[in-house]
Amino acid sequence: MRRIDMLIHVSTMDLQRNLDAYMTNAVSAFDAFAPGWQGAIGFDRSKGRAREDVFRHWRDLISNTGINPSNQVKLVTGNHNQRLYWLLLAAKHDLAEKCWSTIAEPDGQAKLF
pLDDT digits (tens, 9 = 90+) for 46-74: 888 888 899 999 999 999 988 889 888 88
Q: Where are the domains of the chain?
A: 5-112
Q: Is the pLDDT assigned to residue 85 strictly greater than 50?
A: yes
**CA-based diameter of the chain, in Å?**
50
Q: Which residues pair with 83 in a beta bridge?
A: 77
Q: Is the pLDDT assigned to residue 113 strictly greater than 60?
A: no
Confidence of residue 109 (pLDDT cuts 50, 70, 90): low
Chain centroid to CA 8: 7
* Angle of the 12-24 helix axis to the 47-63 helix axis, nearest 10: 100
